[in-house]
Structure formats: C-alpha cells, structure tokens
Structure 1
C-alpha cells in the first residue's frame, strides 16, 4: 500500500469525491451514509467523501465534477445489469480515463472457474460483494487505489534522500552546492537557484534512486504509473528531450537501414535519425496555408498512396498535433498502415495533455499507434527536456529497446528532470481533467476578447485548414491560439516585439501575419487579463496598412540523389550561396546538398542531405537572407560572414551531363 504519510504534508486540504452509481435508492442511501461515517472514523488524508449519483445524471456529473477520483458501480441483481455495468464502465473510461472504478456485484456472477470473468477484471480495479457490506474494507481499498495513483515513488525517494543529509564524496563536483554556497564570486548564483537545485543533483552511485538506464525500483514504479496514466503498455522516461525519443524509436524499427515514410515537415530529429541509421526516406509533402504561412498535415490520400507504393516500408512517422495545433484523424491512417504491416510512430511532442480531457481525445495511443513520443515539458508541469516514450507495439522487444535507449541517454541523468516527470504524471492523473477544463474556459474567453478588438482575430479550425485537407477530418487543439494580426497594419514579428517591449509578454511563435500563444495548465486569469489588455491597447492604434511581405512558399522537393547518410558523410566542398546571385545559382543547381537546411520559422527543411539543389531552392534561400528582416537558417556555414552550402563532391550537375549517344543506323 502506498505511504499515506506524504499526503499529510499537503498544504491545502485534499478533497476526493467518490460516487456510488446505483438505481437502488435504499442501497445508495445506506452505503453512502455508512461509508462517510467510516471515513470520519478513520485516518483520511485524501479527504474521501462519498455521494450517490443516479445513472441518468452520471454523465453530467462526470463532466462537471473536477474533484471526482473514483466510482463504485452497483451491478444490481441480474446478469443483464452486470452487462450494463460493463458498458457503463467503458463509457466512463471514454469520459474520464484516469478515475478508479469499482464494481459491486454478487458471487452468483462469478465464472464456473470460481473467478470473475476476464471482462470484469479488465474494467474494474476491485470487486465488492453486494451483500457483504464490509464498509471498513471498502473504504481502505478505495483509499489505497487512489493513494497509489497519487504517489510519486521517485520524487518521494529523492526528497527523502536529500532530507537525510548524507555527506557527498561523489560526483558532481559542486557537492550539493557546497562549492558555491560561501563563494564571494558565485555565491549569488547559489542563492538565486536555491539549495534544492544543487542537493538534488546527485550521482548515479546513489543506488536508492535506481538507474534510469536499467530501472528496477522507484524509477520503474514511476514509469509503470505513467504508462497507466497515459494509456500505454510501457512508458520510458527521457532527460534529453523528444529529439532523442524519436531517434530511439527509429533506431528500434529501422536500425541499420530500411525505408521510412515521413512528413517532410517533421521535426529535425527525425531527419537526423534518417542520417544516423542509413534509412531511405519517402518524403510526404506538407500542405501550406498560403494566407497565414502555416504548414499543416499531409493529405490522407498522399499517405495512403505512399503506403501502397512502398510496401517495403518499415515505419510511418506523423506529427500530430502540429506546432500550430492541427491534429490528424489518426485511426484510419494507422489502421491503413497496420493492414500493410507498417509500424507507426506518432510525434505527439505538443500533445501530452490530450488524454486527460474528453474534448481532446482520442490520442495517438487510443488510435492504435505503436510508438508515441511526447514532450512532457511543453504543455505539462515537467522541466525542459523531460520527455516520455509510450509503447504499445505488439511485437515490442524490450531488451533491444533498452539497448537502443542507452545508446542515446546520458549515463549521468539529471534527477530533477526525472522527479518532474513523476510529479507531472501525478498532477494529470489526479487533477488533469479539472486543470484542462479551466484551460478550455480560458481559451473561450481569450478568443472572444481577441475578436472583440475588431482588429485582431482568433483563427478557427476552419481558418487554419488548407483547402486540400478539407475532407480529412482535421481537428484543432484549442490550447494553441493563433491570432491574425493583419488588421493592425503590423507584421507578426512586430506585434511580438511590441508585446514583449511594452507589456512584458512573450508569445510562442509568429508568422508574417500571425502570433501564436499557448494556454497551458500553468496559465492564470491574471496572465489572461494582461494579454487581453495588451491586445486591446495595441488595437487602439492600428497603423495605415503598409505592404507586409507575404509568406514565401517552400520550394518543391526535388529528388534524392543518394541516401541522406551517404551525402552527409561524403567528401564535400563549400560553395557560396549569394555570390552575385546568378553566379551562385549556376554553381549550385544540380549539386547534391550534404546538410539539412532549415529556415526558422517555420522550421521545415528546404533541403535534406542527399537532395538535389534546384534554381528555385537557391533563389528562395537568397531571398530569405536579403533585406532588413533576414530569416534564421540552420545548416548554412558562414565563412567571413558569407553563407556557404556544403555539397557532395563527385556528383556531376545533371545539367552538364552529356546526352546519351544515339546508336548508329
């Protein structure tokens, strides 16, 4: 049973509602009264309070009661009622997957083998006999299950170790902060950061804290709780981000080579994994919304066509939701891939919160994805770089996966990150629904107030979906609020600067005529008030519409001259990108790029290693580097401030190839 002692330390008193769902009024009245009496007589650090709910009122109750933590379902006295209780349990899972659910039944419903049917054992945490009425035991079991979900095995162990004040004769060198505390030079940094940043920064030699690379105790317990909370078969913690998570999964499926079908606009970590594992990519073209410069999902028809054309592909990689909050209708896509024997990885870096509110489901795991990577830090309460990999691959090889994970993971993990993953999971399991319900209410307020300015406009799902995706059932994560700033006469970048300089507000991203803000579980009414005030103030002084340069559409993908790995590791030379424009174009067109060239924003590669360079690509990159508002471009090499492209030696330019000789007659 989980240690309830830590729950006593809560500064605010806890309150957990437990609902008894029954149409038997006498039983409901008697049991609720008896259970509340029992709760008053026993130690009750969770603040358990029992109440009765009729079947007819249950759905509204579930959607409105944030403090609900468990349900006790009365199966009545007939097999038909038991079946109804199972159906009800499934519906409850669809609405509030994190709740503990218990069944009140009779022993006459047990199977011939003497146990409860498998369907019952799968759906319910525990069974109570309808006639026994042992309320002490029922109270303790309900409390134990909720306390287990509320436990943080790793974070608690870390805290206990720190408070035991052991002398450190091991790494790291600051020795719990002792090297900084009294220093006249860096003592201010110690005081700024706080003592627990240093005394929780410990060595892997502290065995009581388990091993992230080979967990057997508290880290494994924390990962098991995370798998349960997020609906996975297995969950693995990472302290170096979802970039590493994507690389681990791709190596697991395609290590040593193979074919991958992937969105061209995927995260750069996927492109890196393609190079590192000598994988052959089949790139899917993202869909541009030209009005706002936003790149959306790939058309479902294009994904299905690629799966049909490449039956030898081993993995399909999709990003859902995108940076702008656009979500695929994943189930038909995943089913289509599985029918062809292709594994599916969904990059859910921006959607770790999705499983914890009805309006945001289904998630990738619920749609059947084999692997899901999530940046727990992006939308939840974990520290930066803290991420998770969720697995439900029926062919999962855990031993090989751990080896692949260990190739990328640090042997000196940051324990604060692991603890933050443990705590972030607990928060979502215990109060995620209520927190997200509050988020969605704030989103409604923000959208309404933005539109009320008459200058700015909060874009809807319909606004953001490009025409080619109109029939793909694309949805929007409402926590990503994209605001069209065109009516202000300023560009998105200019509004970003004004919000920061004049109002102390930092937004998530911009395009040439939009800004995007994230409404997370850490957003508050005060922050919302200040943002709305700032936008209203800016709306009072629009400037006369000047020409705002339109988004430059990414040039068409050309072709791969060779595997990305062959290009990246080949003998190369550097050629100038600018060089009077036309001269550079003549030298570069037809050559094979050796690096990934990525403009920010939007962070989508213009070139990948092994791709043939076209005149359109050269001109596009030159335009980005000209003028006052130059774009940051990753992958370029600068020599004396001159931008250079690394290209492969030995690949002749196609334009210079001699035509094949005609046979003589």
Structure 2
C-alpha cells in the first residue's frame, strides 16, 4: 500500500487534489502588501468602476504578475512547475506546459521544434489555421493527405492511419506526422494506429487535441491522446474542462521531441506578461478533472443520451454517426438539417431566438457541446428549439438542402512561407482564379482553411468562398473579410 497522510488519505490522492498555484495566489492576496508593480489596477483599487461593480474585488486581487512566491511561467521552478507536474501526472505525460496563448501557441511551438525550413510534415488538409501560421513562421513544407467526406453531413473525415502510411512511402524524408483528435464535429480517428505508423519510422506524432481534453476521463469516452501514443498533445482546457477562455496545456512524452526546444519555442510565441488568472484556472481545472472527471463525464454522457432520445421524435433531423474505424465524442451533438431543407446557419438562428446558442453551424449542421453545468432542463430547451426550427421550416416532400462541397486541396505552387513573404496584390475574387494565394482564408468556426498561402486559386475554391460570403460566415486570415477581393502573389 502507498504512503498515507494524516487522516488516512493516500499521499498521491492528496497531491492530486491540491491546487498549488491557486493556493499561492490566495495566500499572497491575503498578505495586505502594498503593490508598486504591474498590473495598474492595483489589485482592484484602480480598476475601472464599471468592472469593479460587476466583478467585485476578488478577481483583481488574483490578477498578479511574477512577484516573489508566484513563480515564472517562462522559467518555472516553484508553484507553476508543481502545478504543471500535477497536470502531467494526470495525463500520463512526461512534461506538461501551461499555455496562456491558447492551443494555438502550443501547436505552433511543437511544429517549430519538430521541423525546420524546407522539412516536411505529413498532415490532414483540414487542420486549424494555427497550423498554417506555424508553417509560415517556420518554413516547413506541408504534405497534405487526401480528403474523404461523410457526404450526407458534408463533413471531411479525419485522415486514417492508412493515409499516413501511404504518404510516408512517397515522402520518406518527412520529419513528423500531425493529426487532429477529435475534429470540431467530435469525430475521432484511430489514433493508436496513426501513432504506430509514426513510430514505425521513429517519427513524432503531434496531435491537435484541442477538443479532446475530456477523452480518457471515462470508459464511455474515446481514449486520451497521450494514452494513444501521441508524442505531443495540445488540449484546450477552456473548451470543455472549465478553465478560462484561452487557457490550454501541452503534454509531451517520449524522446522524439526535445522538451528544451519546445520550451524555447514557447518563449518565442508566448506573451511575456502571462495572465495568472488563466494559469490559476488551469490549476483548478486539473484538480477538478482529477477529483471528479469521471463523474462529470458520466453525467454529460447521460444527458447527451437523453437529448438524443428526445430528438428522435424529429426524424427529419439526423444525429451524426460515424463509419467503422472512427469514434464519436458522446458529449457532443451534431444535428443535420439537410432533410429539413434548411441550412445549419438558419437553424441555429432560429434556435437562438428560442434561447439556445450553438457552438457552431455550417451549411447543413448545427454543433452543440455539453458541459458539466448542463441539466435536464437545458436538454428540454434544446429539444424545444429544434421543434421550433421544424415548425418554422416545414419540410416539403423530397425537399433537401444541397450544401456546396468543401473543396479539395488546390495545387500548391509555393510554400506557405514563400507565398506569405512574397509581394502581393488584391484582385476581385472572380479574377483570382489561376493566381497563387498570398493569404489564408479560413471560415470560422471551425477555422479550417479553404485556401492556404502558396496554393493556386481554383474555380471550386471561388465557388465555395462565394457561398461562404453569401451565408454571412465570419472569415479569418483574409485581408478582405467580405471576400470581394483576394490577396494574390504578384
């Protein structure tokens, strides 16, 4: 039996339930010290009155900087380091880095450390725009895998292990493999099989697990990325596990990636004034996952099952299921309105009028995330909102929504970095066909680029971007967010 502390509690369990950074912040705030340092709100005394009345003083007393006793994110040796070690222990990782610039910074740091100028990385075409930014910053060459779709839902499927294996035959000099686990729709590839492909060549597998922080926390969930063999896994803790927006962490294991080099890349990309509120929220979220993660996941799974059963009364609305070889996040609902003859955008708009706000919508789907704070009454509100969509958009016989197909990868003429740095000009969107894009165009959410710097603008891409613009979808990366023009290489 392991060592026990006073009261008979196992030491490992007591350690997991501690919050070293949160506890240090509370102790410091209670000392009554007179600050002559940043931040300028002076622990709330000089905060804007409108915020002080709304938030109270407590949040400002914890919004501190690198004062003695609170450690330093860029060179952790005290409470931040202990908090990161506890997070690594929970994940089964060798090293964990707290991130205050979101998963974006973690993804970029690992890619910068894994592949340099001109070196190849094998990855899905449907990566987040953060990956494209890393390719621009570091100069790595992307080798994109073929895109396969779940046609009725108009969803690109994550690339399976066989696709990586085939790509490695053609690109034996590749330096790393990159996977998304799960994607925005909650679809999870067989990550263990992908890891086996990478490790058969002694290559690191880097995983964007931004939406997978709850994986591995309950038998009903898919396994966690680290447990599947990922050498690096980046998880957005704020998305599903209760941390504040922008808070994430990066796990490393094995010897295929250098923790020192990854930390150096993080120092290049991370603010020199990290928010202690974000850091504390990571520490607290880790403690909650350690103490009750399985229970919270079980409740969400049960609520999702209840919602699915109730939504079955609407046969026109399909719920996402996945083909063999994939798993689905059971705490995420993807509602398909193709059979109703209404777009996901229009359905989400009606649902908002009935008090239900979705995570995202696309041309035929609405995506909803369940969280630990949801209750049965929230599921009932969701079902009522879906019923309102059908009442306002009665289905005619044979009527179906036909979404524009997500374009395949255009021909690549330059590397993303070369195109980003090249002289450029703006041209009307229809006239951009045949030109080389100098910018990234990524409808958001989900933030998957339709066009990358260095890719040739095709008629298929222009048609899709026109549909995106007509639907009023927000676009990231483009200089002209209304997509009347496109920035192309001169």
Q: TM-score, normalised by structure 1?
A: 0.70
Q: Is the 8 A contact 1:237 1:388 kept in 2?
A: yes
Q: How far is 1:595 from its partner?
A: 0.9
Q: Is the 8 A contact 2:218 2:294 kept in 1?
A: yes
Q: Confirm whether residue 198 of structure 1 aligns to residue 65 of structure 2.
A: no
Q: Confirm whether residue 504 of structure 1 aligns to residue 355 of structure 2.
A: yes
Counterpart among 633, 636, 656 of residue 475 in structure 2: 633
Q: 1:631-659: per-residue Cα shift (whole Å, max 9, x none)?
A: 433333339x772222222xxxxxxxxxx
Counterpart among 337, 342, 347 of residue 203 in structure 2: 342
Q: How many equivalent residue pairs? A: 489
Could you say which residue in structure 1 is the equivalent of 2:30?
Answer: 163
Q: Confirm whether residue 188 of structure 1 aligns to residue 50 of structure 2.
A: yes
Structure 1 distance, partners of 2:338, 2:135, is 39
Structure 2 unaligned regions, length at least 5: none
Alignment of 1:302-317 (within 5 A): 302-317=163-178
Counterpart among 100, 103, 108 of residue 242 in structure 1: 103
Alignment of 1:106-125 (within 5 A): 125=2
Structure 1 distance, partners of 2:467, 2:379, is 37
Q: How far is 1:593 from its partner?
A: 1.1
Q: Confirm whether residue 533 of structure 1 aligns to residue 394 of structure 2.
A: no
Point out the structure with max Rg over C-alpha.
1
Could you say which residue in structure 1 is the equivalent of 2:122?
Answer: 261
Could you say which residue in structure 2 is the equivalent of 1:52?
Answer: none
Segment of structure 1 superposing worse, 442-451 or 544-553: 544-553
Alignment of 1:466-485 (within 5 A): 470=324, 473-485=325-337
Could you say which residue in structure 2 is the equivalent of 1:149?
Answer: 16
Counterpart among 537, 543, 546 of residue 394 in structure 2: 543
Q: Confirm whether residue 597 of structure 1 aligns to residue 441 of structure 2.
A: yes
Could you say which residue in structure 2 is the equivalent of 1:645?
Answer: 486
Which structure has more relative contact order (CA 8 Å, sep 6+)? It is 2
Q: How far is 1:141 from its partner?
A: 5.5
Structure 2 distance, partners of 1:274, 1:573, is 22
Structure 1 distance, partners of 2:413, 2:139, is 14
Structure 1 unaligned regions, length at least 5: 1-101, 103-124, 127-136, 181-185, 579-583, 650-665
Alignment of 1:259-338 (within 5 A): 259-338=120-199
Q: 1:147-180: per-residue Cα shift (whole Å, max 9, x none)?
A: 2111000001101111222111111111112123
Alignment of 1:1-400 (within 5 A): 102=1, 125-126=2-3, 140=7, 142-180=9-47, 186-204=48-66, 206-400=67-261
Could you say which residue in structure 2 is the equivalent of 1:406?
Answer: 267
Structure 2 distance, partners of 1:517, 1:564, is 33
Q: How far is 1:511 from its partner?
A: 2.3
Q: Is the 8 A contact 1:262 1:316 kept in 2?
A: yes
Q: TM-score, normalised by structure 2?
A: 0.94
Segment of structure 1 superposing worse, 310-319 or 445-454: 445-454
CA 1:519–1:173 in structure 2 vs 1: closer, same or farther (change >3 Å)? same
Structure 2 distance, partners of 1:589, 1:605, is 17
Structure 2 distance, partners of 1:600, 1:278, is 24
Counterpart among 435, 454, 477 of residue 296 in structure 2: 435
Q: 1:406-464: per-residue Cα shift (whole Å, max 9, x none)?
A: 11111111101111100100111011111111111111101000112444333333xxx
Q: 1:92-131: per-residue Cα shift (whole Å, max 9, x none)?
A: xxxxxxxxxx3xxxxxxxxxxxxxxxxxxxxxx45xxxxx
CA root-mean-square deviation: 2.2
Structure 1 distance, partners of 2:188, 2:116, is 28
Q: Confirm whether residue 611 of structure 1 aligns to residue 455 of structure 2.
A: yes
Q: 1:545-586: per-residue Cα shift (whole Å, max 9, x none)?
A: 3966522112332322122111110112221114xxxxx2xx
Q: Is the 8 A contact 2:360 2:446 kept in 1?
A: no
CA 1:642–1:308 in structure 2 vs 1: closer, same or farther (change >3 Å)? closer
